[in-house]
A and B are shown apart, each in its own frame.
Chain A
Amino acid sequence: MPKWFAPVALACGAMFAASPFLIANAPYESTMGLVQKIFYYHMPSAWMFLLAAIVCGIASGRFLGSGDPRHDRTAQAAAELTVLFGLLTLVTGPLWARRAWGTWWVWDPRVTSSLVGWMISCAYLILRKYGGPGSERLAAGVAIFGMANVPFIYISVNYWRTIHPSTSVVPTLPVSMGVPLWFCVTAFLMLFILLMAMRVRLEESRGQLDALHLALEE
């Protein structure tokens, strides 16, 4: 593991440990009360979900273009993180929604687009696991199609209902809420980088293992 891994891991762990205190001290939101505090984990999860999806798409494009296995490893790692952070987002969202909106699930644009994007990344992982040899390139193709699809999914779902708060809520946040939010975002971002590093390392080791198996057979 690279040299920066341990100190960053420690810092990240400390930030996660500290976050509940910062969140508890943040002011209550007027209409939703206590349950709104889910926001401090829900929002960073959503952003990491999006970041991971973008990383996967770009890495897949580069892999198809160049054939360099490093890009494939990055894409695979990013796809797993997309599924992970997507899951966190899609579970914390309804938990918040049940209290705030009175319903577990809504088919509004942001939620639905996230669900569809999440399913595409699950499909990527299923393909890689069960598709047999050669599925790395196919999965890369799927990732690219998924990424190209994002604007279409969003526009098409947009003309349904809209309950989700608009994106502009973040810039208008009061400082007392902004601080815990950005603190959590930083913690989540560090976690994202750590997980990517670990996961890519795993793929590299697997690649090494395959090479060694081949060398042994000679």
Chain B
Amino acid sequence: MLHLRFAFATLLLTGPVALAAAQPAQPTQQDEFVPISQLPPQEQLPAAPLLVGAYVFVVVTLFVYVLSVARRVTTVQREVDSLAAEIKGRKKG
């Protein structure tokens, strides 16, 4: 019963938020966005290193993660196999 009451109250009160969000108060947009062509030349970095850097970062990170998971899987699998063998040995003995 309590659950239903609270759920109902939630719905009641999120209504106003939806309404409020639909009519936003004046969003204070501050302009930090300066189109790149308007920046002085010193501020403009060459694009290629950034591009290459981004792709290299993605590939290297993914590679490292895959390796880490693969390594953990094989380590644990080895332990599981050795323990299973030991248990089997004990049962026979």
Residue positions of A touching B, CB distance < 8 A: 16, 20, 31-35, 37-38, 41-42, 45, 84, 87-88, 91-92, 95-96, 98-103, 106, 155, 158-163, 191, 195, 198-199, 201-202, 205-206, 208-209, 212-213, 215-216
**A202 and B61 contact, CB distance less than 8 A:** no
Contact with A along B24-66 (1 / 0, CB 8 A): 1101111011111001000111011011011101110110011
Q: In the complex, A37 Cα to B44 Cα: how many Å?
A: 17
Q: Which residues of B, 57-83, contact A by the 8 Å Cβ criterion?
A: 57-59, 61-62, 65-66, 69-70, 72-73, 76-77, 79-80, 83
Known A38-B50, A92-B57; contact A159-B25, beta-carbon cutoff 8 A = yes
Give chain B nearest CB distance to A29 CB in angstroms. 11
Q: Judging by beta carbons under 8 Å apart, are A212 and B45 in contact?
A: no
Q: Is B9 an interface residue (CB 8 A)?
A: no
Complex partner residue of B47 from A99, A155, A195, CB under 8 angstroms = A99
A35-B76 contact in complex given A41-B55, A159-B24, A215-B87, C-beta closer than 8 Å: no
- Do most interface residues of chain B lie in helix, strand or loop, or is the interface mixed? helix
| Count of interface residues, chain B, beta-carbon cutoff 8 Å | 44
Structural contact, A88 and B58, CB atoms closer than 8 A? yes
Q: Chain A residues with Cβ under 8 A from B11's Cβ? A: none
Picked from A42, A103, A160, A201, the residue with its CB within 8 Å of the CB of B73 is A201
What residues of chain A lie closer than 8 Å to B44, measured between beta carbons? 99
Give the distance to chain A from B65, nearest Cβ to Cβ, in Å.
Answer: 6
Whether B33 pairs with A101 at a CB distance below 8 angstroms is yes
In the complex, A16→B62 CA distance in Å? 11
Q: Are B61 and A198 in contact (CB under 8 A)?
A: no
Which 9 pairs across A and B sit closest by C-beta, in order of nearness? A35-B47, A34-B47, A212-B83, A205-B76, A95-B54, A92-B54, A38-B54, A163-B33, A95-B50
Q: A87-B61, A201-B73, A202-B73 are in contact. Are A98 and B36 (CB under 8 A)?
A: no
